[in-house]
């Protein structure tokens, strides 16, 4: 524990997250703390960066389990070095790129046939005649194109 360590209320205030969310993240291994003699949590200041990554990743739709898996690649018990953040960013990039492509398709094709099987739009008769998209798998196949390639 060091003098710069933060109490849970300080972390909540600085990160904008509820204390209950911090406890939840900690219980699920996304962040960690030490305890004072009195049993109070203390967080190293760099927990704020981890929380920023968690918040951003959640905002673009990454499931918490996936975020936890990625953060598990970082060292625990000491601040993460810039090169370790860089390595994480590189390993995460393909998934981020895929998210971006999916969001771009959503943005650009929201008013088009998405190959979901509803056949409810005029465009479906041309884009997805007789629901041929179902041969590619479940869900909105024209949005999830790259997933079918996996
Ligand atoms: S929008 Fe659902 S099949 Fe075309």
pLDDT in tens, 109-126: 888 999 999 999 999 999
Using alpha carbons, list the distances in angstroms from residue 28 to 25, 58, 97, 132. Answer: 5, 15, 26, 42
Query: Which of 113, 126, 132 is the best mutation target for the ligand 1 pocket, counting ligand atoms within 8 Å of the beta carbon and taking the most?
Result: 113
pLDDT band at 1 (very low <50, low <70, confident <90, very high): low
Q: How far apart are CA 148 and CA 35, in angstroms?
A: 47
- Residue 150 pLDDT: 33
Please, what are the domains in the chain? Answer: 6-94 (1.10.1660.10), 111-150 (no CATH)
Which among 13, 51, 14, 17 is positioned nearest to 32, based on CA atoms?
51
Q: Mean pLDDT over residues 22-49, rounded?
A: 95
Q: Mean pLDDT over residues 31-38, rounded?
A: 94
Question: Which of ligand 1's atoms lies nearest the C-alpha of 118?
Answer: 2
Buried/exposed code over 48-78 (b: 16+ C-beta within 10 A; e: otherwise): bebbebbeebeeeebeeeebeebbeebeeee
Residue 13 pLDDT > 90: yes
Residue 52 pLDDT > 90: yes
Residue 28 pLDDT > 50: yes
């Amino acid at each position: 524990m060091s003098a710069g360590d933060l109490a849970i209320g300080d972390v909540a205030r600085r990160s904008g997250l509820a204390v209950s969310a911090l406890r939840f993240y900690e219980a699920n291994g996304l962040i960690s703390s030490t305890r004072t003699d009195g049993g109070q949590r203390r967080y190293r200041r760099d927990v704020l960066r981890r929380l920023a990554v968690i918040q951003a990743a959640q905002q673009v739709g990454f499931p918490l389990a996936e975020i936890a898996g990625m953060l598990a690649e970082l060292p625990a018990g000491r601040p993460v070095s810039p090169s370790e953040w860089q390595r994480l960013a590189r390993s995460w990039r393909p998934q981020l790129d895929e998210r971006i492509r999916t969001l771009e398709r959503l943005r650009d094709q929201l008013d088009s046939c998405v190959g979901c099987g509803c056949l409810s739009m005029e465009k479906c008769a041309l884009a997805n005649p007789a629901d041929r998209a179902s041969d590619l798998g479940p869900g909105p196949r024209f949005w999830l194109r790259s997933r079918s390639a996996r």
